[in-house]
Structures are given as C-alpha cells and as structure tokens.
Chain A
Amino acid sequence: MSDPVVGGCLCGAVRYQITVEPMFGGKCYCNDCRKASSTGHVAVMAVPEDGFSVSGALTGYESAGGSGQPITRHFCTTCGSPIYSAPTAMPGVVMVRASTLDKPEGFASQMSVFAASAPSWDRPPEGTVMFDTMPPADS
C-alpha cells in the first residue's frame, strides 16, 4: 500500500499509524459496542497488530465480548475517544475505530455483525453483508 493511514483522538493526545491493508472493515451493533459508542454501533478496521503503532496515553477496559471471550477497549485517557479494541477471540488483530481516521473516506464497511441488536434509529446499512450475531467461524 502507499501512504500510511493515520488517525487519532479528539484532543490529539493519541495518534496512530496503520502500515498494512486492513483485513476487513465492519460495523458492530452488539450491546457493549453500543454502550461504548455515542450512538447505536461502532465502525472498525481489523488490522494485524504488527501493522499498527500508537502513541499517547490510553486506558483499557476489559469485558466479555459477544463471543464470551474477553475484549479490551482502549480509549484516550484525556478525551475518552475510542481508539481500538483487542479481542482475545482474534489474537494478533486490533479493531481500530474508523471514527478516528484523519481521512474517514478511506474506510469501507463490508459487513454488519450483531445486526439483530441494532436499535430502530440506527439501522445497519443496506447492501452490506449482515449477521444477526457473529458470522460463522468458516466465513
């Protein structure tokens, strides 16, 4: 890929760089992602962690994800902006929040997961693959 993809939080204390192509982009409507968003869902880029470097003070919060396995959500300690999460169900992969991209038009979402939990006022986009909960393991 050409130029690295860069982003950061609202206050600027946290900055990151992505130097590999994301594996996929998607939206998650599970209840925990809703609670940790400011609306009904989060938009994430799945990035191999060795292609993701981040600087600045982050706070992590661990809880059980939709799979039942722990997921740690990392946010800017100063302004609270969600930056990325690390699900133990996908070791070696970080889920970077598309909200934080300096150029958000570089993101594309291919799928919505936990679509069955989406509120009526924040529906998953038509035209992308949708799963009621998580995709089957072989997809």
Chain B
Amino acid sequence: MSRSTREIAPMSVSITGGCLCGAVRYEVTVESAFTGNCYCTDCRRASGTGHCSHMGVPADGYAVTGTLKSFDKPADSGNVVSRSFCPTCGSAVHSTNSGMPGMIFVRASSLDDPSTFKPAMTVYASRAPDWDAPPAGLPTFDEMPPADAQPG
C-alpha cells in the first residue's frame, strides 16, 4: 500500500433549509456540535411560541444565501446574541453568540426536512410558560448547563 494516510474528516452531511418565502437558503455540511431547545425570555419573544429549537453548527460547515437582517441583544451572560431573520417574510434563520465564536445556531424550524433534527437538551426551562412545557425525556436545565456540560 503506497497510499498515504489521511486524517479522518468529520462526518459530512447535507442538510438544507430556508425561510418561508424562499429568499434565504442554507446548507449545513457537518454534523451539529450540539442541539437543543431554549426557553429564555428573548428566545420566547422571537419565536411565535414559548421557545426556540437550535442546531449548533461550526461556521465553516454552514453556507447561507439570500439577504438576512440581524438584531443584536445582550443575553443574561452579557454575551451578545445576534438573531438573523429574512427581512421579506420574517422567518428566523440563525443566531450567533459572542461567547461562542465560530458557532452558528440554526433554527430547526427552517429545515426542509424537520425530521433530521434531534434536540439533545433543554435550557432555561425555568422560564417556560405552562402552555409550552419542555419535552419530557431530555436533559433539562433551569438556566444554562454548567460550564463542563455540553453547551446549549
């Protein structure tokens, strides 16, 4: 065997999605680093219901086309969360967090095939309204998980 040894690349995938009107489209080409539901007050306000569902994706595995508009607001932690949406139809597409550079939090709502999403945890469960209870059977944190747990 003369073939050189190559490093094993992260599992590649092709997950596509976009906004309601179709002006914004994206492709995720790497496995999500983490997934989850967030019930914080800001995620609620921006959600249409009681929470948001996120896929945490390394930025170099995420390509998006179309015009996005962003709104920046500090989170509880003091880190700035920038939420990006389609300015034509308003659909939430993704967010970034200044405390986690290089990660994109894609909204599971925008997936072409939502069955590809599997939330791994729930955060800020203490803020969940009684009409949108966090799902049973997932690791659930009142606020953020401890620093040594998987981020959400």
Contact = CB atoms under 8 A, between A and B. Distances in A.
**Pair from one complex:** yes
Interface of A: 9-11, 25, 27, 32-43, 59, 61, 63, 73, 75, 77-82, 97-100, 104-105, 107-109, 119-123, 125
Given A33-B48, A121-B119, A108 B83 contact: no
Interface of B: 19-21, 37, 42-53, 69, 71, 73, 83, 85-92, 107-110, 114-115, 117-119, 129-133, 135
Given A36-B90, A121-B135, A80 B71 contact: yes
A98 B135 CA distance: 19
Given A43-B50, A80-B83, A119-B117, A107 B129 contact: yes
B107 A38 contact: yes
Given A10-B42, A79-B71, A36 B49 contact: no
B131 A108 contact: yes
A122 B47 CA distance: 13
Contact of A38 (B47, B69, B89, B118): B47
Name B's interface SS.
loop
A64 B15 CA distance: 26
B109 A35 contact: yes
B48 A38 contact: yes
A39 B49 contact: yes
A99 B50 contact: yes
Contacts of A73: 20, 89-90
Nearest to A42: B48
A99 B131 CA distance: 11
Given A36-B91, A59-B90, 15 more contacts: A34-B109, A35-B20, A37-B49, A38-B43, A38-B47, A38-B51, A39-B47, A43-B131, A73-B20, A81-B46, A100-B45, A104-B50, A122-B53, A122-B135, A123-B135
Nearest to A79: B71
A98 B43 CA distance: 13
Contact of B49 (A9, A42, A78, A119): A42
Given A10-B71, A11-B71, A123-B135, A43 B48 contact: yes
